[in-house]
Structure 1
Amino acid sequence: MVLKDKKTKITFHSGILTIGGTVIEVEYDGARIFFDFGTEFKPELNLKDERLQTLIEHRLVPHLDSVYDSRLNYNYPHESQGPFKDTAVFLSHVHLDHTRMVNYLDPSIPMYALKETKLLLESLNANNDFILPLYDVSEGFTRDIIPCNNKEHIKVGEIDVELLRVDHDAYGACGLLIKTPDLFVAYTGDLRLHGFDRNDSLEFVNQAKGADIVIIEGVSISFPERPVDPSAPKIESEQDLLDHIVQVVNDNPDKQLTFNCYPANVKRMKEIVEQSPRQVVMEASFAHILKECLDIDVAYYGNDDAYQLNKKLKKDYNELIADDHKYLWQVVDKFENLKGGGVYIHSDATPLGDFDPAYQPFLETLKNQDVEFIRLACSGHAKVEDLNKIVDLIEAKVLVPIHSLRPELLENPHGKRYLPERGSTI
């Protein structure tokens, strides 16, 4: 096997046989890096608190040696594997299953991400309600993240890490090319080929070609038995989704039109603002994200005390509630206030689906208000055929599918495949 007699060690701490919570460690000669630093999503646990010890006991985050903030009073149950000369953490993108425990990292350990990811994460956490909180919020709401440019190299001991942009439904997403003196490892992060930045993913694939090991997400192969709803609109790309939103607006000239989307998908928000036949009005925190990330001023409503927004663009909430022809406006709460007979577009917003206990009550609220629910979604993950295309283009010696419920369904026609277990080390 290609890994025989190598000094490099790869440990799969979490993110195995589940979607999310990826934490992987690459170690070489006393230096180590981790990617990513999120948590698994299991709202059904209804945890009494989110202390580090609680999250570890419920296996939402892994045991890690000398990595967490010591002030969190976490008791590591094993003997230390250290000392480690160098440690660093890398983030592929802002989604919570990759970033939620960012603030639980030891403050002395450097954390790196593309500058767009740093900017977006800090914007999303501007009110201290996105990721888990810092031990001492007087230090700020989000720990220090070192911003990197696309294709920038970071050295951690003898481990070289290059960050390359990829196409995903989170602004600033990247993959990692990791090289030690005896191994070339590529980590895709979450990626796809059907968004606005398809060429970024293809460039990453080109640079990863021939890697010894490719660690690849496999979300789309997790649900091979899922039936296709023939009544659902066929959406093949982000632009398809935008076309459907425009069609809904044009088809309902005399109805209240509202929508919601996921805040990390900054480019989708931008396109909704630019392509909608009606004036778009965003909730203040989303307007803040657009301003911070893309320097776009947009009409908004809501509490803007924490944001530097153009006050001339602020709309009155009561005007929006009464409107039935002028605006396409974003609603994030108080759905019970919506005008009867209107249309609401749910575009990858929370709650995301049936797996979330909040989803059915949310649908019932809309039904009780006589508001038509239209779900328009476009996955941030590569389609099955595109996953296979990516694998075929890279020609990895060893393929490691993770971030998936069915990783065994992804084959490697160019070499071996390794299916890790949680906590396993190569």
Structure 2
Amino acid sequence: MSASSKTSVRFWSGLRTIGGTVVTVQYEDAKIVFDFGAAYNPAANVLDGQVRLRQGALLHDYIRLGTLPGVDGLYEAEQLRGLSGIRPFDRERDARTAVFISHLHYDHMLGIGLIPEHIPVYMSRMSRRLYRRLHKIGEGVAGSRHRFQAMPGGLQPVRIGAIEVTALPVDHDILGACAFHIRTPDGTILYTGDLRFHGNHPEWTEAMMAKAKELGADILIIEGTMLNLPNDDGLPVDVKPADLAPSRELPEGWTREPDMPGLVANRLLAANGLALVNTAPRNVERLVSMAEAARQAGRMAVFEPESAYLLHTMTACRDFLVYESDTTSRLLAAGKAPGWLRKTAIRSVLINAAGVNRSPSRYLLQNTYGNLLELLDLDTSGGIYVHSDGVPLGSFDPTYGKLLAFLESLGLPFAAVRCSGHAPAENLKYIADMIDPPTLVPLHSFHPELLLPKSGVQLLPEYGRTYRLEGGRLL
């Protein structure tokens, strides 16, 4: 590294995968890490929920499987037993190290529970608020002992040595998502995290871009999930860079988040029996949309307890019932229910399968994949199963076929009503062109090479290489 530059950047994972982005930026002895999750690839993931996690060897197994990268100075020595070539965390040498999490999807935060308590983990205020509740309902991360720190409001930066990190809110399909603006004495970096314009808060992404232009962005590290456009089954279809024109508009066939209640309601109005919806609990705004869809269709939304708890504690939405499975009923009756479940039960009107079956056409019932067998207790005749970005996400997941086969065995029609959390390729090109950095680094994509810069240079980094920030470029 030349004497004129003390800033180094290294890419540890997430370059040609969906998620799993881990990047380090270091200036002298100050180092930041963003994000810290695992790539989303259910077809190749041996940890499929059936293979048992070895809690005492969790980090060892994650690194051996390639789920998490072997970042130097980020793990305790005892966690690295049996692994070589990774320098363990040293309280003096790594005293000025911090991790920053852009949002709370597993592909961006899975590994934060394995970081030593001495290393601060920062996230937006809303993300920390959401994480505390996810942890209570069992949707946190394994091994977590951290009291995660909220980044200051008012666009105030966090300082790690000579590095400044500012959180800039963006529109995504989870509360608390943000981009990071990073400043070192050698230049500026903007990391977008995951983002879009077609959600409920497009103004957040617009404001992020304007602020990035104001603060400067020598390097733009941008997610590229949708650079390989999906077909109707969610499978990638390659495009050429020449085909990609910048546009702020949403392409034909894409769905906006504000339109979701009406689109789902139309499906419900066409059904004569019980309506079911598979949507993720941590997509809190989608839960609110499903309650509104039920209202528009003359039905009442019924949510699983975990989702109901998030709605009670994160929103003003109260227009729903809570589904009481046999397991929930037994826990409550025996006085063994966790505190969050007891509070949810007290605040809510509960309804069980027998209650739903008295008049199935009155309800829209949430049914996540893990609770699929609850359908065996329900009268699903004349009903519909709406898939709204719940797990499994699409045909690239081996369990997707199992879901469809199960629904077919019940004679239950399937309808996908989805809204992506990621900007389409044209919007990504628009963002890149508007910011127009000297160096553009697309990642978080199967085809990052498709996103070309307007006037700067494109860098497709390689693993195992250290880059220096100098003169607005990574060298």
* TM value normalised by structure 2: 0.81
Match of 1:285 in 2: 306
Residue 7 of structure 2 is aligned to residue 8 of structure 1: yes
Counterpart position of 2:146: 143
| TM-aligned CA distance change 1:318 to 1:282, over 3 Å | same
Secondary structure in 1 aligned to 2:281?
coil
Aligned partners of 1:299 and 1:313 also within 8 Å: yes
Unaligned runs of 5+ in 1: 135-141
- Note the C-alpha offset of 1:185: 0.4
How big is the shift at 1:336?
3.6
For 2:455 and 2:358, how far apart are their aligned partners in 1? Answer: 60
**TM-fit CA distance, 1:74:** 4.2
> 1:193-342 counterparts in 2 under 5 A?
193-209=197-213, 210-221=216-227, 223-224=228-229, 226-228=230-232, 234-252=253-271, 254-276=272-294, 277=296, 278-297=299-318, 298-302=320-324, 303=328, 305-306=337-338, 307=340, 308-309=343-344, 310-332=346-368, 333=371, 334=373, 335-338=375-378, 339-342=380-383
- Aligned equivalent of 1:110, options 115, 120, 123: 120
Aligned match of 1:360:
401
Structure 1 residues 129, 312: CA separation in 2 closer, same or farther (over 3 Å shift)? closer
User: Is the contact made by 1:15 and 1:21 (CA closer than 8 Å) also made in structure 2?
Assistant: yes
Q: Which moved more, 1:91-100 or 1:314-323?
A: 314-323
SS at 1:205's partner residue?
Answer: helix
> What corresponds to 1:46 in structure 2?
46
The reply on whether 1:67 has 2:108 as its aligned counterpart is: no
Deviations 1:41-71 (CA, angstroms, capped at 9, x unpaired):
3443424535211111121110011212445
Shift of 1:235: 3.8
> How many angstroms does 1:227 deviate by?
3.6
Q: Aligned residue for 2:411?
A: 370
CA distance in 1: counterparts of 2:292 and 2:255, whole angstroms: 20
Aligned to 1:32: 31
1:167 maps to which residue? 171
Q: Deviations over 1:62-92 (max 9, x none)?
A: 0011212445344552374972340000110
Q: Tell me the CA shift for residue 324 of structure 1.
A: 2.3
The farther-off stretch of 182-191 and 39-48 is: 39-48
Contact 2:126 2:175 survives alignment (8 Å):
yes
| 1:35 shift after superposition | 0.7
Aligned residue number for residue 161 of structure 2: 157
Give the superposition deviation at 1:355: 2.0
Residue ranges of structure 2 left out of the alignment (5+ in a row): 234-251, 468-475
Asked if the contact 2:128/2:150 (under 8 Å) is kept, the reply is yes
Task: State the Cα distance separating 1:144 from its structure 2 match.
Answer: 1.2
Do the aligned residues in 2 keep the contact of 1:52 with 1:74 (CA within 8 Å)? no
Classify 1:24/1:347 alpha carbon distance in 2 versus 1 (closer, same or farther; 3 Å). Answer: same
Deviation, structure 1 residue 251: 2.4
Question: Pairwise CA RMSD of aligned residues?
Answer: 2.3
SS at match of 2:312: helix
Shift of 1:131: 2.1
TM value normalised by structure 1: 0.90
1:183-215 deviations in Å (ceiling 9; x for gaps): 100000000010001000111111112410010
Q: Distance in 2 between matches of 1:69 and 1:263?
A: 33
Match for residue 406 of structure 1 among 438, 447, 453: 447
Q: Match for residue 138 of structure 1?
A: none
Per-residue deviation at 1:285? 0.2
1:77 to 84, 91, 100: 84
The answer for the alignment partner of 2:135 in structure 1 is 125
Which shows bigger deviation, 405-414 or 260-269? 260-269
d(CA) in 2 for partners of 1:207, 1:352 = 33
Distance in 1 (CA, whole Å) between partners of 2:275 and 2:231 is 29
Change (3 A) 1:218 1:79: closer
Given that 1:346 and 1:374 are in contact with CA atoms closer than 8 Å, whether structure 2 keeps it comes out as yes
| 1:379 to 1:320, Cα distance in 2 relative to 1, 3 A | same
Q: State percent identity of aligned pairs.
A: 32
Post-superposition CA distance 1:113-137 (Å, at most 9, x none): 1121112222222244542234xxx
Answer whether contact 1:112 1:146 (CA < 8 A) is retained.
yes
